[in-house]
Amino acid sequence: MKRPLLSTILTLLTLSTVSAQNTDLILTSYSGQSQIKAQGSITLKPGFHIPSGSTVRIYTSSSLQTHPVLQTQPSGNQNYILTRTFRKAGVTLANLSQSRTVEEENQSIQYFDGLGRPLQSIQVMASPTHKDIVQHTEYDGFGRESKKYLPYATSGSMDGSYKPTAGVDVMNFYSPTVGWDAAVKKTGYPYAETQFENSPLNRVQAQGSPGESWQLSSGHTVRTDYGTNETNDVKLWQLNAAENGATATYYQPGRLYKTTIKDENWSSGKSGTVEEYKDFDGRVVLKRVWETESKKLETHYVYDDFGDLRYVIPPAVSVNTFSEDPADPNYDAYIYGYKYDGRRRLTEKKIPGKGKEELVYNNNDQVVLSRDANRRAAGEWLFSKYDAFGRVIMTGIYTSTESAVTLTAQINSNGQTIGRLWENPTTTDQGYTNAVFPTNIAYYHTIHYYDRYDFPENSFGAPTGNQASGARVKTLLTGTKTTTLGTGTMLLTTHYYDLEGRVIQSKSQNHIGGTDITDNSYSFTGELESSTRRHTVNGQTTTITTTNEYDHVGRLVNSRQQLNSQPEVTLLANSYNEIGQLRTKTVGADQQGNNPVNTTDYRYNERGWMTSTTSPHFSQQLSYQDPVKGAAAQWNGNISEQQWGQTTTLNQHFVYSYDKLNRLTNGSSPTSGMSELLNYDDMGNITQLTRDGSGISYTYTGNRLNTVSGGINGSYSYDENGNAKTDRMGMNLSYNHLNIPRQVTGGGNTITYLYDAAGNKLRKTASTSGQRDYAGGIEYQNGVIELIHTAEGVAYRNANGTYSYRYNLTDHLGNVRATIYRNPNTNAVEVLQRDDYYPFGLQKSPNPVYGNNKYLYNGKEKQEELGGQLDYGARFYDPVIGRWNVVDPLAEKYISISPYVYAANNSIKFIDPNGKEIWIYYQDENGDDQKIQYSAGMDYQGRNQFVASIVMALNRMNTVQMGEKLLESIISSDNFFNFKNELPRDRKGNLIDQAEAAFKRNESGGGDILAGNALKSNEYRLLENVSHELFHGYQYENGQNNRVSNEVEAYLFGRSIYQNYMMNNDMGFSSMPWGTSTVAGKIYEESMSGLMYAPSFDVNMFKKAVDNFRGGSTANQDGKYGYGAPVPVTQNPLIKSFYPLIK
């Protein structure tokens, strides 16, 4: 075993950047770094040599900040854990005690009391001016954290010592009179208070937030009431005998747990409250929201005897019985339906207004075939094939009109005949054998290659130079072929890695007949420092080089870009306030950061909500609970007013109002003459929209829009998947298998869209405007490059072949409000285009009119040929009518509202998500609903301890190769995986005090990791538990539903992540027992230990662990997994694909 250290040491062994803390830098040899920089001079001594093929940026800059030496002095009279993260190479045990600057090493200290509870969390010298950032924690007499403080930056000591006066210091930091950072909102209440009920359950009754407006005495807190159901209060839905419908009676009183939530806007009565009823197994059976004192909207959940969700009955359905008979209008129009096979695998799914979807599995519980209603009509199935490690290697179309039952039998028979359910790699044909069902493939969509570079038609070849060889890329995706839909042409992308498994080069074919080669370099801690893309078409190469710089704790401080041989520009330069919030952003400066095009100043309120952005060319101010233009105050995060102006003067404004369901009902701007008034039905479908006094009426069948009349007139028809075939403009639309428009005709125009099988738009051809090609952010018009997208706008091609940078100034939703540039002739900053929008996104006529920016509302491309619809990637949005024209792919995540509704009908606060994300939900230190998107290796500098703990665990998981692999899969999923600050409960609804986290699946895919106990857990055990629960998400994502087997895999994965992480960082580990002292426990422990250290997956050892899990695992001492007979074990569980990384 490696020698453990007394402190936590995070070391990432790779080469990176050399930078000088002194003004001058002298180098005698090259060490593989991607950047060499200094404040003063750089001297390369004789013998300094850079190998051919290396890319190195050498520069000096007076803007490089000098960082002080760490003087950390942890308080010896306190319990603490010191975490050291090294940002430069060369740290060994021999030189561990040497002095380093805060740029070379980051430190954080967690102080605990004698009960192991967190007292203070200190990021040493982490603020922009090298102050300690402190998160202070206090407990009441019952050990509860009844007051949660905002983080603050110290004005004195910067040594990481325990701050005994932290309670006073945080008050002073936020004090309106003595607070010293002007960019931080001042308040006399920098804390959120919690009111608990007087019982041993310690349930929250009221949750306040920072700021005077949200204190417990303000009347604007989140309140929670607890109770049970009453007589004739909640319907008890039960399946009929044929299991093709359900009938309701009523629950007996006291048989359900009732929770009533009242948000900060609630004042009295029922309106605006949310009631949730759960049965004794912890399943939600009813969610009831009160729109008014007398009108309630109810969503019912119907389960079978196994506890599987069978139906969801949304608010539009008020009957007491329904069936799947086509004669029953409610089922097809409104109700969600699910069916399962004998192994409790989801086999059928029906979304309201959309035909049923079917899934077919193999004996490994992997989805082999699937089809929706459109594919069924075409006689097609979408297929997936797997390798021996359970990775998807092929997708495409299989032609068959046979039933799911028949195909399941064929799949099982094929597996028995050939003795396996996966394809093996070859160097011929498509790179894999073709023995597993289906073998008669009509059309490939994608082919993925792992672990090797000798796959067929790899025209880009094997790794070279410092790229990891084929022997070092096990488990990594090395190549992908993706079909251009409608053509059959497959385009290749090959990835090359460094020794740490990071992509340092990608080579890909584009649909225009050229190639794209991108080279990346990283800092020691994995931050992307530079990226060079060479885009070649018809022998002409466009080179785009982007260089990023970070501060001493990894916050992005500037990003520069060079196009071909043009002078480098500073796309953006960021500065931050003392607690890490973005303070200013400067765009369009020169290489040295001088002469910028624009600087925007950002401000926030006590809750972290943006309140203003100020710049010379666009400014905005948002009001919430503090309106000044006559709107009703909004304490729950809804925006009550928006003021804006074309300079720093705010001479325009919108006033907003909402109903009790937080749906926008009125958005009016008397200064600009814009207004929208809206009415909704029970599903959130707009029934009346009055824009600038002109009314539009909507009629529906279910959630499908039939007609609009009044201000605009038109009618709609739909295909079996719920996609609009004809729209209000009389256009006729057809779709590909991704439900994205393929061709649109009408009005004398034909628009054809070309996509690849991954859903990327490649080309748009219109008979009126010609051909537009999209090549990864580079856009061609009729064969000539027109623009290149950048992080802050576009680089627009001039007639002489050079490029002029145009910058987008956006509001809080990412809507482009001004497009500016520096006129190359006059050197003056000019506004090319200004854009204002109605509340649901309709663009007001642009001013000046000579601008041609089409990426506007939410930054999405406007489709002029389709009446101004906006391309969101997964589907098109029509701002004229304020709704989608196709079913939301994530409809089941918003099950109480119509799948055509945009942004939950609150388009001032929300934008539409696209999936492929991990979100961490938290309550803004006070119960307010907030969320942050996780990206691998992200640096969280925010104020919430829960978020910081989860991000730390995920980042540590990401440093372990098997963890990185799992996170890549989860993040690339089409589903959401959410971490929530909620306490896990057992099937009876009781809190699980010892559980750090628990995975709760969504029937539509994805799920929630309930991690409310995260802050009570040792940070390394939290790493193990987060990894365990994410693996459950991975299992559910891949359709693996064996409960006991899944638990064994998840325990093995989580423990392996923990121990690999500890060993990789020279910390050793304290191994917790797997099994009890029983015979079964000893067998279970021997099996699990053997699996952890085995060089390859041993199915017999795995079966032994599964067989003895119930009787011998310490995880089942309470019998929650039962004590039944051994369960069947699949030969190829998902955990197998993580070998040999587990060892």
Which tens digit of pLDDT belongs to each residue from 799-854? 999 999 999 999 999 999 999 999 988 999 999 999 999 999 999 976 666 678 99
Q: If residue 173 lies in a helix (H) or strand (E), which one and from where to where?
A: helix 166-173
268-296: average pLDDT: 95
Q: What is the signed CA dihedral for 1043, 1047, 1049, 1054, rounded to 10 degrees?
A: 150
**Binning pLDDT at 50, 70 and 90, where does residue 4 land?**
very low
* Same domain, residue pair 300 and 427: no
**Predicted confidence (pLDDT) per residue in 719-764, tens digit:** 999 999 999 999 999 999 999 999 999 989 999 999 999 889 999 9
**Predicted confidence (pLDDT) per residue in 246-260, tens digit:** 999 999 999 999 999
Q: If residue 332 lies in a helix (H) or strand (E), which one and from where to where?
A: helix 329-334
* Same domain, residue pair 268 and 380: no
Over pLDDT 70: what percentage of the chain? Answer: 88
Mean of the per-residue pLDDT values for the chain?
A: 87
Asked if the model's pLDDT at residue 874 lies above 50, the reply is yes
**Binning pLDDT at 50, 70 and 90, where does residue 1071 land?**
low
284-289: average pLDDT: 96
The pLDDT value given to residue 927: 45
| Interatomic CA distance for residues 363 and 419, integer angstroms | 12
| Interatomic CA distance for residues 770 and 750, integer angstroms | 10
Residues spanned by the domain of 696: 597-768+802-905
* Same domain, residue pair 315 and 234: yes
User: Phi-psi bin for 951: left (phi > 0), alpha (psi -120 to 50), beta?
Assistant: alpha
Whether 737 is covered by a domain: the verdict is yes
Tokens representing 446 are 């994608």
In single-letter form, the type of residue at position 302 comes to V
Whether 1022 is covered by a domain: the verdict is no
| Interatomic CA distance for residues 563 and 604, integer angstroms | 35
| Interatomic CA distance for residues 360 and 363, integer angstroms | 10
Whether 559 is covered by a domain: the verdict is no
* Same domain, residue pair 346 and 415: no
Of 307, 324, 350, the residue at which a domain comes to its end is 350
Whether 56 is covered by a domain: the verdict is no
The pLDDT value given to residue 1015: 55
Asked if the model's pLDDT at residue 1127 lies above 70, the reply is no
In single-letter form, the type of residue at position 351 comes to I
* Same domain, residue pair 341 and 379: no
- Shortest CA distance to 872 belongs to which of 854, 884, 860, 859? 860
556-562: average pLDDT: 94
| Interatomic CA distance for residues 1012 and 1024, integer angstroms | 15
| Interatomic CA distance for residues 492 and 481, integer angstroms | 4
The pLDDT value given to residue 1141: 75
C-alpha distances in angstroms, 653 versus 52, 615, 818, 923? 59, 17, 16, 30
The pLDDT value given to residue 471: 85
248-277: average pLDDT: 96
Whether 519 is covered by a domain: the verdict is no
* Same domain, residue pair 686 and 813: yes
C-alpha distances in angstroms, 408 versus 341, 374, 417? 11, 21, 14
User: Phi-psi bin for 250: left (phi > 0), alpha (psi -120 to 50), beta?
Assistant: beta
- Regarding predicted confidence, which is higher, 623 or 1088? 623
1101-1112: average pLDDT: 80
| Interatomic CA distance for residues 1037 and 311, integer angstroms | 20
Over pLDDT 90: what percentage of the chain? Answer: 62
* Same domain, residue pair 368 and 277: no
**Predicted confidence (pLDDT) per residue in 896-946, tens digit:** 999 999 988 999 988 775 534 566 666 554 444 566 777 666 666 565 667
Q: Report the range of poorest mean pLDDT among 137-146, 626-635, 1066-1075.
A: 1066-1075
Tally the C-alpha atoms within 13 A of residue 855's C-alpha that lie toward its C-beta.
19
Q: 3-class DSSP state for residue 212? A: helix
Whether 968 is covered by a domain: the verdict is no
Of 861, 889, 905, the residue at which a domain comes to its end is 905
482-509: average pLDDT: 93
- Residue that is written with structure tokens 């080279």 in the block: 519
* Same domain, residue pair 281 and 227: yes
Asked if the model's pLDDT at residue 986 lies above 70, the reply is no
- Sign of the CA dihedral running 406, 412, 414, 417: negative
C-alpha distances in angstroms, 1028 versus 342, 922, 1052, 1134? 26, 21, 8, 13
Whether 185 is covered by a domain: the verdict is no
The pLDDT value given to residue 157: 81
- Residue that is written with structure tokens 């931080």 in the block: 184
Of 846, 873, 905, the residue at which a domain comes to its end is 905
- Shortest CA distance to 661 belongs to which of 1030, 288, 1109, 344? 288
* Same domain, residue pair 383 and 284: no
* Same domain, residue pair 817 and 692: yes
| Interatomic CA distance for residues 234 and 252, integer angstroms | 9
The pLDDT value given to residue 930: 66
Whether 901 is covered by a domain: the verdict is yes
The pLDDT value given to residue 1130: 59
| Interatomic CA distance for residues 82 and 260, integer angstroms | 42
Count of the separate structural domains present in the chain: 4
* Same domain, residue pair 875 and 819: yes
| Interatomic CA distance for residues 466 and 420, integer angstroms | 38
* Same domain, residue pair 746 and 820: yes
3-state secondary structure 25-74: EEECCCCCCCEEEECCCEEECCCCCCCCCCCCEEEECCCCCCCCECCCCC
